Structure 1
């Protein structure tokens, strides 16, 4: 008798819930990293990557590629303000009710600013309520020693310009001591801090391979991988050439290390925003 009543209750509940599920309108937003982007689809992600991932949506047209000035501090109008504006427009125009945010590198910090400071901007609460979760590809959650080297004006400044930009506000912000301050006082999700209101899942790259005899080294751009293998010499053994693994996994939860899906192939910082080693398929299945 108890089982019958329980089953009847579950059946009724399923009927009540089903229409709400059917009405869910799922979307995905691609949020770039450091840089002032005007065409992030072509210049940052590539259409091949975006088009592959969005095929996992019930409606593949429900996507947006963000173009903002992330050379600024994360809280600036050109950064978080721009991101909030474009996400709000996407949500309202497409009537999105559930959104996965896919972000890369410093973009994770801008997204965390919004998630951590819901009263800072009247647009933030709706964005937070719409986000299902964040897939953060190589996020710079704890900063990078390379930003320290660039800002200090030592011999690496010129050589790191191609990777970071020259002493922009975003580079200054990503110094390890600065990110420690922001994480302690303004951002959620790191050790000892409140949890983020939405799950923040990090994909961590652990090494760089730039052998000219290995075809996989050309994925994401061979010259970029050569440069990243050079900068890796000033980072921990576990790094993607730009960020140490501890920084990438410093906020939220570690979802995947490159070794979890790429086998013996590491995922460099350049490769973590490309169709390399099945990453796009993993993200497609996730959305």
Structure 2
């Protein structure tokens, strides 16, 4: 039995030993990555992804799709402050005491800021206490060389502009040397640092496929995947077109590499890992 399975077993045993009157109200929160979102339901995750994941909830209304300004530093009021407001209000209004958080990309950094700094905001402890675990898809926990390239003035093709934007504070923060500093001084969960207070489980995307004859290359958008194929030139052989695998699993624990669990062992590009591609939605749904 692996660590993930042991953690799930402990959660189930705790629920069974608790009085019937205190059975958990399970909820899920979807936390987007870099960008200033006002409609992440449609623009970032897409409705088909969200509605598929929602099916895993005992009560379908216990779902939150976060919309915040993640073009700012992770600790900024527009980022962590906004995320804390939405998570706290969701927990309080829906009486959630078993929250599964699903994050993507830089959303993992903002979430990890909250988990690592419980005295920063009076709402953080209540949020942490009610989280079962965080499922982290393609987290930029150790930053990305693409952020270094952007801050150095290199121009990427318009097809991958959605990845980062250009020289905003979130991009500046995700430079590899900057994330190394934050990991050593402000954030928990990386090598040599204390553990995070809840499970932080990483799904790692390992490649980008863009064969024109392969229908799988079109999932999530062929143009977006083609752009990620271009940006792989800045990255290691194991990457999702935006992040090296080493960055994606730098904090917390590895849940799985894409090819270990996806349909037919398909890799997940950084774009596909926020979409209904290769049964990722079913995996997340079943995890609830």
| Structure-to-structure mapping, 1:124-203, within 5 angstroms | 124-156=124-156, 161-203=161-203
Which whole-Å CA distance do the structure 1 matches of 2:194 and 2:170 have between them?
Answer: 24
**Structure 2 unaligned spans of 5+:** 1-13
Partner SS state of residue 134, structure 2: strand
Give secondary structure in 2 for the equivalent of 1:275: coil
Structure with max Cα Rg: 1
Q: After superposition, what is the alpha-carbon deviation per residue over 1:203-262, rounded to whole angstroms, capped at 9, x for unaligned?
A: 000000011110001111110000001101110000000000000000000101011112
Aligned pairs for 1:1-287 (under 5 A) are 17-20=18-21, 23-156=23-156, 161-262=161-262, 263-287=264-288
Question: SS at the partner of 1:27?
Answer: strand
Other structure's SS at 1:28 match: strand
Structure 1, unaligned runs of 5 or more: 1-12
Equivalences, count? 274
Counterpart of 1:43 in 2: which secondary structure? helix
Change (3 A) 1:280 1:155: closer
In structure 2, relative to structure 1, the CA distance for the partners of 1:171 and 1:187 (3 Å cut) is same
TM-score by length of 2: 0.92
RMSD: 1.6
SS in structure 2 of the partner of residue 61 of structure 1? coil
**Partner Cα separation in structure 2 for residue 154 and residue 206 of structure 1:** 24
- Cα distance in 2 between the residues matched to 1:164 and 1:105: 11
Given the two structures, how large is their TM-score scaled by the length of structure 1? 0.92
Q: Provide the C-alpha distance between the structure 1 equivalents of 2:185 and 2:149, rounded to a whole number of angstroms.
A: 24
- Going from structure 1 to structure 2, the CA distance change for 1:214 and 1:75 (only over 3 Å counts) comes to same
